[in-house]
Amino acid sequence: MTHDLLSTWRPLLAAEASAEAQAAGTEPGDLEQAVWVRLLERLDTDGPPPDPQRWLRRAVRSEARRCRRTTRLESPYDGEPAADHAAGPEQLALAAARRRALRDAVRRLPGRCPRLMTALLSPKDLTYREIAGELGISQGSLGPERSKCLGCLRRLLTTEVAARGARG
């Protein structure tokens, strides 16, 4: 049943999501996924809708409205709180300690990771092409190499950062 719905409704859903996504400030695939989830929830409780095409169009528009509301309510971070020039000495000391801990962990990484992570964290904001040229590796291998290095860095830092205790 669900497979039949997927194959039958997919073209209509893709068209509706593509039409609404731009105005909603989201990707068509995100809208499609939200509507599929909504359909699965409905199938669990009420069964299939009596007029599937109408339900689908209304669900897409409803999800698009929800995305627009969410986008309006969200505000981007201006940066790390310690990056504020008017920050107090405590925030500045904490930010310096975080940067120092990160640099120390980066130096302990294996292989090419220290050089790669140093280039990625550089204040020069180097492009992938510039980093690849500096390290002498292909630009296409930077992404996988970066993922591997970030995984190593995550494991290193996890052992150093205490887990938060239970709240409440």
Per the prediction, the chain carries an average pLDDT of 82
Nearest to 105 by CA among 151, 41, 40: 151
pLDDT tens digit string along 62-72? 999 988 888 77
**Second-level CATH architecture of 89-160:** Orthogonal Bundle (1.10)
Residues whose CB falls within 8 Å of the CB of residue 134, separated by 6 or more in sequence, listed in order: 119, 126
pTM value > 0.85: no
Residue 126, helix vs strand vs coil:
coil
Distance of alpha carbon 74 from alpha carbon 66, whole angstroms: 12
CB-based contact 12:54 (threshold 8 Å):
no
Distance of alpha carbon 133 from alpha carbon 112, whole angstroms: 14
Which pLDDT score, from 0 to 100, does residue 140 have? 80
Domain ranges of the chain: 2-73, 89-160
Percentage of the chain exceeding pLDDT 70: 83
